[in-house]
Chains A and B, each alone.
Chain A
Amino acid sequence: MAAKKLNLKDKYKLLTRDLDWDFSYEDRKQAFPYEDFEGIKIHDWSKWEDPFRLTMDAYWKYQAEKEKKLYAIFDASQQHNGHLNVSDARYINAIKLFLTGISPLEYQAYQGFAHVGRQFGGVGARVACQMQSIDELRHVQTQVHAMSQYNKFFDGFHDWTHMHDRVWYLSVPKSFFDDARTGGPFEFLVAISFSFEYVLTNLVFVPFMSGAAHNGDMATVTFGFSAQSDEARHMTLGLEVIKFLLEQDEANVPIVQKWIDKWFWRGTRLLSIVGMMMDYMLPNKVMSWKEGWEVYFEEAGGALFKDLARYGIRMPKYAGVIEKEKEHVSHQAWWTFYTYGHAAGFHTWIPTDEELDWLGEKYPDTFDKYYRPRWELAKKLEAEGKRIYHNALPQLCNTCQIPLLFTDMDNPTEVSHCVTEYQGDKYHFCSDGCKDIFEDEPEKYVQAWLPAHQIFQGNCGGPDIPDILKDYYHFNLGADNLDIKGSPDEQRWKEWKKQG
């Protein structure tokens, strides 16, 4: 029989889409129980457009090729002391934050996509989610393997999963993903596939990774870009999810809009950490956080929302505030970490004079006016032997869990602080955006495991802060924390460079 040629779309459909069937013996709702409770209406899963059409044989083939290339770089880096090629020991601290703060989110993404990859009633959507699930497992594992080398020569990497579950600032990323995974399956996809993957992760994996390359970190840029090659698939999934939900039923539009409002705000807050990594932690600069934000959020995100306007979807709520924040958040975040540097699992420092000038150039409207004077003061105090360390436990936002450090964007010397009451208790927030999220689901957010509260309640050992840092967080005090100046990391680095 002469075989007819099958195009990719038909072939994929025959190989994948037809595998499921209408149940006769069990109630399908029992096999796929979580599809209804969020109020999303799906009438016809067969209308799902496969965002990519990769069969497993091709998946194994291409992914194995990527892995082979990636591990060849890791091996070479390990055999040739690749850690010595980075621009400066300060740089390493950015990837300490990456391993302890971001890699565990890759793991949560694996778990979350396995959950929805089991739960969706439509086979096309399920398979796309399953592939993303295994990709995310890839990402966390390649990141651990890349960092394994740095862990052998620098402090602060050594107990990354333990820290992620406990350390105060790491509850920011952890609560973000816990929030998404504890939501229903459709909210999870709007949160992660759409809001996070389609728009926000670009900022981590494109400009930041380009920065890693510019700072001589071959291992990180290689896993970063190799991960991103999967991300292109995830992005198309994110866009398909949104279109599918919006096309299935008009009643889905306001629900989706609410999730977009929530998750863009939550994502923006999460990324303030990346902003500070870009502006302050990369000794060799590629672009400022603000420039990255303009390209990947404003331009790319703007195009996206223009396209979605036909469904009645508008820009995320507080987009106006978000636009103003790009001028401020990285500076406010790094200042906070600098002043709490004794309680951080990585090193902090005062930017060099050249860096202060660079920041002044990149942020002409804000840096010299609001932030440079702080650093001049810090320099003066440091010279007098009085480096600034704040000891009071900060008030945390009940939603994003970031200390109340952000200012009112129209009045950048005033810390923004919102309060709401629920069942007789007061709850504190960094912004209207975070307060809205709480007020929409208070019964969820009152459960938050807020690190400062937990310390006060005695759930983290102690009672003194150094005991908590050492025994509960597993920090090696005097090695992992404090200023880079005088740290064992810095001493070793100087020693290696002297020999070089």
Chain B
Amino acid sequence: MSKVYLILQDNDDSRYLVEAIEADNPEVTTIHQPALIRLEAEGRLVINRETVEDKLGRDWDVQELHLNLISLGGNVDEDEDRLELSWAV
């Protein structure tokens, strides 16, 4: 299975996003590079609105992710509750 990935700006918002992603995707690998955080996983990675809201302690719209997102790899499926990245093979 190929790796999907997500890259976030290294800032305060992203710390909570990373926590949420790590909580929902135990297999994820988190890599820190200057000014960015890269998260990668085999085949699939998901960000759930509810988990992010728990971490942030406020309402969070999935589209807010785009404020801190630098890049991604994988097929994207986005709705109001989650954003999922996946490769079928």
Contacts and interface: CB of A to CB of B under 8 A. Distances in A.
Contacts of B7: 206, 228
A303 B89 CA distance: 8
Interface in A62-109: 62, 65-66
A324 B33 CA distance: 26
Given A211-B34, A221-B35, A307 B75 contact: yes
B13 to A, nearest CB: 11
Given A206-B36, A210-B33, A225 B70 contact: yes
Contact of A62 (B9, B64, B79): B64
Interface string B69-83: 111111110111000
A299 B5 CA distance: 11
B66 A62 contact: yes
Residue from B34, B74, B87 with most neighbouring chain A CB atoms (10 Å): B34
A109 to B, nearest CB: 17
A309 B70 CA distance: 27
Contacts of B74: 303
Residue from A214, A228, A230, A233 with most neighbouring chain B CB atoms (10 Å): A228
B35 A303 contact: no
Contact of A232 (B66, B75, B88, B89): B66
B3 A202 contact: no
Contact of B35 (A66, A209, A287, A306): A209
A377 to B, nearest CB: 34
A7 B80 contact: yes
Q: State the main secondary structure of chain A at its contact with B.
A: helix
A225 B9 contact: yes
Interface string B23-46: 000000000011110000000000
Interface stretch (A49-57, A353-361, A410-418, A457-465): A49-57
A232 B87 contact: no
B88 A307 contact: yes
B88 to A, nearest CB: 6
Interface in A235-256: 235-236, 239
A444 interface: no
Interface residues of A, number: 41
B87 to A, nearest CB: 6
A232 B78 contact: no
Given A206-B7, A210-B36, A307-B88, A231 B71 contact: yes
Contacts of B67: 62, 65-66, 229
Nearest to B70: A228
A418 B66 CA distance: 45
Contact of B75 (A206, A229, A239, A287): A239
A248 to B, nearest CB: 18
A1 interface: no
B68 interface: yes
Contacts of B88: 307, 310
A452 B73 CA distance: 40
A302 interface: yes
B63 A235 contact: no
A219 interface: no
Contacts of B66: 62, 229-230, 232-233
Interface string A413-441: 00000000000000000000000000000
Given A225-B9, A225-B36, A229-B66, A299 B71 contact: no
Given A232-B70, A299-B3, A307-B87, A210 B76 contact: no
9 contacts: A8-B78, A62-B66, A62-B67, A206-B7, A210-B35, A228-B7, A229-B67, A235-B72, A310-B88
Given A51-B76, A286-B34, A303-B3, 14 more contacts: A206-B7, A213-B34, A214-B34, A221-B35, A225-B35, A228-B70, A229-B70, A232-B70, A232-B71, A235-B71, A299-B3, A300-B5, A303-B87, A307-B88
